[in-house]
Amino acid sequence: MVDMKMLHSFGRAKTVDLGGWFDEIEAEVYQSLARHIRCGVVIEVGVWKGRSLSTILEVCRRNETRVYAVDTWKPDLRDGYGEAAERNIEAIFRQNIRRLGYAESVEIFAEKSCKASRRFPDGCVDLVFIDAEHSYKAVMEDIRHWFPKISKSGTIAGHDYTTRAGVRRAVDELFGEYVALPGGSIWAVKKSEFSR
Ligand SMILES: C[S@@+](CC[C@H](N)C(=O)[O-])C[C@H]1O[C@@H](n2cnc3c(N)ncnc32)[C@H](O)[C@@H]1O
């Protein structure tokens, strides 16, 4: 069981601001996707302040799995990200990861999803979790860039399947019957099943 409140209770000097859009059920689902990976590679695309990413950091550290965070921290301000115009969200993310004690465990690529995907050879990533721009076109592009990077036994997954029409349309169009909905607003596709 993931205690999201615990993540906030670091005492006054070390309070972390993990505001975001990820509930406890989703945290458990995300952990279950990451838990079986050993000495692997996990990438989250779209991390904002680190709320969702923070829920898998301990399990990945324990299993010696490398974690990469990808974000431009320049979201479309019309899409509910007004805070990004006033505050340095990248700095908040970096501070959160440090204060939670995982600065050494996370490699950060402050760049666009498609650019970051080119850093990874095909077939080398165990889990990609996509939670960046939610338009149909953006999700299609993200999946097209990241799916080839997934290993044969790996999983591509993401957030907001039930809450954003663009996400659902893109995911359904690309993966159809192979889409699993393990809980909350998370979608997931195992490469081994899709490529069968
Ligand atoms: C919904 S928020 C992520 C929420 C985060 N997963 C959490 O749990 O709090 C979307 C994030 O995606 C980032 N983003 C949007 N488009 C992007 C792109 N093309 N490449 C990289 N990051 C992007 C935004 O800057 C924003 O931080």
Residues with CB under 6 A from ligand 1: 20-22, 46-49, 51-52, 70-75, 112-113, 131-133
Of ligand 1's listed atoms, the one at least distance from the Cα of 52 is 8
37 CA → ligand 1 middle, Å: 24
C-alpha closest to that of 68 among 27, 92, 34, 36:
34
The pTM of this model reads 0.94
pLDDT (tens digit, 9 = 90+) per residue, 124-142? 999 999 999 999 999 999 9
Segments in the chain below pLDDT 70: 1-14, 196
Per the CB < 8 A criterion, the answer to whether 25 and 50 are in contact is no
Mutation pick for ligand 1 pocket among 70, 72, 73, 117 (CB with most ligand atoms within 8 Å) = 72
For residue 159, give Cα distances in angstroms to 30, 167, 182.
10, 8, 11
User: With contact defined as beta carbons under 8 Å apart, do 156 and 150 qualify?
Assistant: yes
Which residue reads 């989703």 in tokens? 26
Dist CA 131 CA 30 (whole Å): 12
Compute, in angstroms, the gap from residue 48 CA to the centroid of ligand 1: 5
Which residues share a beta bridge with 130?
45, 158
| Distance from the alpha carbon of residue 46 to the mean position of ligand 1, in angstroms | 3
Per residue in 140-175, pLDDT tens? 999 999 999 999 999 999 999 999 999 999 999 999
